[in-house]
Amino acid sequence: MINVFVYGSLLFPEIADGLCGQTVKSEVATLKGFARVAIKGADYPAIIPMKNSEVKGKVLLHLNEKAIGLLAFYEGNEYKIVPVEVETDSLIINAIAFVWKAGYEFLEDFDWNKAQFKSESLEFYRDEIIPATVKEYYNQ
């Protein structure tokens, strides 16, 4: 079983649970040595290595290989899977994170806006993108 640090659309249970096909257990977590940034023209963020920075997010706990495959498919080729250590209130947990690997020229110099995603994009992701992604994943 694998733990996954999430920091963008997957912070919302509707998205994570919808992709994984189950209610996913999670904990609030912090990833040090990275920064979260907005992506130009996109409603989802990236994380990039950055000293003296940290990203607040969640760690999705105990996911199986099928769920990891779906999450990787959802994240796409712009990200690479990187092993990380995240801190919860009481533990340091080994996890993986999806780290931006496409060019930095696609990134903004400011953080992604979770509240804006919730108000402008969450319903569309929940109702359209997630079901289409799951269907496409199983039809590939």
Q: Which residues are catalytically annotated?
A: 75
**Secondary structure string (H, E, C) spanning the chain:** CEEEEECCHHHCHHHHHHHHCCCCCEEEEEEEEEEEEEECCCCCEEEEEEEEEEEEEEEEEEECHHHHHHHHHHHCCCEEEEEEEEECCCCEEEEEEEEECCCHHHECCCCCCHHHHHHHCHHHHHHHHHHHHHHHHHHC
